Amino acid sequence: MASLLRPSHELTYAAAEIVLQGCMKKAAEIGVPQCIAIVDTGGHLLAFARMDGAKFHAQRSATQKAITAASTRGATGAAPQDFGVNLSLATGGMTTNLKGGLPILRDGQLVGAVGIGSGTGEQDVEVAQAGIAALEKALAAN
Amino acid sequence: MASLLRPSHELTYAAAEIVLQGCMKKAAEIGVPQCIAIVDTGGHLLAFARMDGAKFHAQRSATQKAITAASTRGATGAAPQDFGVNLSLATGGMTTNLKGGLPILRDGQLVGAVGIGSGTGEQDVEVAQAGIAALEKALAAN
Amino acid sequence: MASLLRPSHELTYAAAEIVLQGCMKKAAEIGVPQCIAIVDTGGHLLAFARMDGAKFHAQRSATQKAITAASTRGATGAAPQDFGVNLSLATGGMTTNLKGGLPILRDGQLVGAVGIGSGTGEQDVEVAQAGIAALEKALAAN
Amino acid sequence: MASLLRPSHELTYAAAEIVLQGCMKKAAEIGVPQCIAIVDTGGHLLAFARMDGAKFHAQRSATQKAITAASTRGATGAAPQDFGVNLSLATGGMTTNLKGGLPILRDGQLVGAVGIGSGTGEQDVEVAQAGIAALEKALAAN
């Protein structure tokens, strides 16, 4: 018989806060105020921060990057431009092809995602990576 | 240290199909064609059926009932009317106070939800319950 | 006198289920979990499945592909990109230029449509075609 | 001559975090996990937390409460129900008549707002008040 329930793990708020703090520390280091969104595996917001000086519209793009990374279980911004635009339109803007969204994986399984907006794509990715690294360090120490 | 990951379970598609078939069987029995939506714990659609004769707008209400039941981890339609309408407006229609949405629980934990629309509230609930009963039977036999 | 009524045919739920199963069989064969949406001639959802591992945002893109195929009575994704984007914007995202939506025709008349999402455009089309082929086989045997 | 510039103050992220922590402390005390949204005077999100166990749809209602409180510079939920529903409809759900949104004032001027969702209206208000009290304490000590 086919399996009926799939075991999974979700970030707690405590974990989301660690990702958030790791992102903010890196953003401060590189001098780029950011919007930072952490979502669960269903793309629902767990934690958000708009640092002083970050663009207010980036609240939305950061969140969409996190949702996209959760849905695809991969980094955002890798699709060809035409495909990315069409997919964004077809999903009511839920999916974005902007860089700065990364899945958060544990033993290869999705446990959440992070999206960063307000810097360049490269800065956004760097800040997202720092947040995930902070969580990995905390998980290793746990 | 606070716990960083929360273990959970999600319905597989095989499980969603069992709920769907259980609902359709009951709907046929009582002679009321229904829209049936099964969602995961994040409220994302897993399986849907509109039986011949069901209202097409009920696709949306059935889905919103399932989403609401997943979010609240309870049966839909129990809120006072004023509160329910205000909450529905405040969430862009994502939350509904119509009867016919039920959470699917396993050992007290949410694993998904079902929403039924096109009948009366009572018929919708009856059909939702039959779908969950079918899953419980399959889980017990597994 | 002008003709006042136009005869038409609509897929029943039983037919939609045959399309769905045909799609899922092909998706399993090629190892690509998919979101599968079947709509009627008015673009209203009849049946939907999200296979284990398919992206959750593809629920929406698969549905929009099916709606677009029903509205245009043709395969999706064939428009020049600029026109496709403008049309998508003008219809609030209801029309998509992504590949993976196909009309379901019977004697040259539209009876419904299917939309697939979560794979590449080519994989999505292949799975949609398999679903329609399964229905045609069932119609021939009927 | 008419005055051409109006001085104003905005919460920094540091202040938003103090409100957030004050809210979370009270929510933990009363045993009600909450969604907490802090916005600036323009209604744009500064900080957000969904505590473990809070309903995911409350992300949206909490945010709309904060936006409404910022726009009206008053507590949410005080309008007559008919007026509240009409206003919510007229603003595309941006204005809500649910309780749980409070403006954050300094010397009688708006500096931001907080919105709480997932508990009863009374619990939401209590948690919002605790967040503002935490900020006032920090401002007094500064």
Query: pLDDT of A66-112, one tens digit each?
Result: 999 999 999 999 999 999 999 999 999 999 999 999 999 999 999 99
Q: Does residue C127 contact residue C34 with C-beta atoms inside 8 Å?
A: yes
Q: What are residue A114's DSSP bridge partners? A: A38, A102
Among D77, D96, D34, D122, smallest CA distance to B90 is for D96
Between CA D71 and CA C2 the distance in angstroms is 57
3-class state of residue C14 by DSSP: helix
Q: Which partners does chain D have (≥3 C-beta pairs < 8 Å)? A: A, B
Q: Which residue of A has its CA nearest to D36?
A: A47
CA distances from B48 to A88, B23, C49 (A): 23, 11, 7
> What mean pLDDT comes out for the span B40-47?
98
Among B133, B74, B138, B66, smallest CA distance to B108 is for B74
Assigned domain for D27 exists: yes
**Residue of B13, B50, B59 with shortest CB distance to C49:** B13
Assigned domain for B4 exists: no
Which residues make Cβ contacts (< 8 Å) with residue D12, sequence separation at least 6? A52
**Residue of C52, C55, C96 with shortest CB distance to A90:** C96
Q: Does residue C106 contact residue C139 with C-beta atoms inside 8 Å?
A: yes
Assess whether pLDDT exceeds 80 at residue D1. Answer: no
* B53 contacts chain D (CB < 8 A): no
- Torsion of the alpha carbons at A101, A40, D100 and D79, rounded to the nearest 10: 70
Assess whether pLDDT exceeds 70 at residue C11. Answer: yes
Site of tokens 């992220």: D13
Q: Which residue of A has its CA nearest to C89?
A: A89
Q: Which partners does chain B have (≥3 C-beta pairs < 8 Å)? A: A, C, D
Range of the domain at D91: 13-136
Output DSSP code: residue A25. Answer: H
Residues of chain A in contact with residue D47, where contact means CB-CB under 8 angstroms, are 48-50
Among D64, D22, D20, D60, smallest CA distance to D38 is for D20
3-class state of residue B68 by DSSP: helix
Summary mean pLDDT of chain C: 96
Between CA B61 and CA B34 the distance in angstroms is 11
Measured at the alpha carbon of residue C117, what is the angle toward residues C111 and C120, in degrees to the nearest 5?
120
Q: Does residue C96 contact residue C65 with C-beta atoms inside 8 Å?
A: yes
The pLDDT tens digits of the residues spanning D37-91 come to 999 999 999 999 999 999 999 999 999 999 999 999 999 999 999 999 999 999 9
β pairing state of D101-106 and B45-50: unpaired
* D105 contacts chain A (CB < 8 A): no
- B59-81 burial by CB neighbour count: b if 16+ within 10 A, else e? bbbbbbbbbbbbbbbbbbbebee
- D57-86 burial by CB neighbour count: b if 16+ within 10 A, else e? bbbbbbbbbbbbbbbbebbbbebeeeebbe
The CATH number that applies at residue A130 is 3.30.450.150
Assigned domain for D6 exists: no
Band the pLDDT of A132: cuts 50, 70, 90.
very high
A95, C61: Cβ pair inside 8 Å? yes
Assigned domain for B18 exists: yes
Residues of chain C in contact with residue A70, where contact means CB-CB under 8 angstroms, are 56
Q: Does residue B128 contact residue B39 with C-beta atoms inside 8 Å?
A: no
Band the pLDDT of D2: cuts 50, 70, 90.
confident
Between CA C62 and CA C73 the distance in angstroms is 16
The pLDDT tens digits of the residues spanning B57-77 come to 999 999 999 999 999 999 999
Assigned domain for D87 exists: yes
Tell me what percent of the residues of chain D surpass a pLDDT of 90.
95
Between CA D128 and CA D142 the distance in angstroms is 21
Confidence at residue B1, expressed as pLDDT on a 0 to 100 scale: 59
Assigned domain for D72 exists: yes
Confidence at residue D134, expressed as pLDDT on a 0 to 100 scale: 98
Q: Does residue B51 contact residue B116 with C-beta atoms inside 8 Å?
A: no
Output DSSP code: residue C92. Answer: T
Site of tokens 């998706």: C27
Cβ atoms within 10 A of the Cβ of A93, count? 13
Instruction: Find residues 116-135 of chain D whose CB sits inside 8 Å of chain B.
Output: 121
Which residues make Cβ contacts (< 8 Å) with residue A40, sequence separation at least 6? A10, A11, A46, A70, A112, B42, D56
B96–chain A nearest CA distance, Å: 18
Q: How many domains does chain D have?
A: 1
* A81 contacts chain B (CB < 8 A): no
Output DSSP code: residue A93. Answer: T
Among A79, A70, A83, smallest CA distance to A115 is for A70
**How many distinct helices (H) and strands (E) make up chain D?**
4, 4
A37–chain D nearest CA distance, Å: 9
Assess whether pLDDT exceeds 80 at residue B2. Answer: no
Assigned domain for B5 exists: no
A95, C52: Cβ pair inside 8 Å? no
Measured at the alpha carbon of residue C18, what is the angle toward residues C17 and C24, in degrees to the nearest 5?
85
B and D interact (at least 3 Cβ pairs within 8 A): yes
Cβ atoms within 10 A of the Cβ of B2, count? 12
Q: What are residue B38's DSSP bridge partners? A: B47, B114
Confidence at residue C17, expressed as pLDDT on a 0 to 100 scale: 98
B44, C52: Cβ pair inside 8 Å? no
* B44 contacts chain A (CB < 8 A): yes
Q: How far is the first Cα of chain A from the last one, in angstroms, to the nearest whole number?
A: 37
Assigned domain for B67 exists: yes
Phi, psi of C20 (to 5 degrees): -60, -50
Helix D121-141 / helix D13-30 crossing angle, nearest 10 deg: 130
Q: Does residue A117 contact residue A65 with C-beta atoms inside 8 Å?
A: yes
Tell me what percent of the residues of chain D surpass a pLDDT of 70.
99
Query: E strand or H helix at B9, and its extent?
Result: strand B5-11
Assess whether pLDDT exceeds 90 at residue C2. Answer: no
Confidence at residue A1, expressed as pLDDT on a 0 to 100 scale: 60
Between CA C16 and CA B24 the distance in angstroms is 14
The pLDDT tens digits of the residues spanning C22-63 come to 999 999 999 999 999 999 999 999 999 999 999 999 999 999
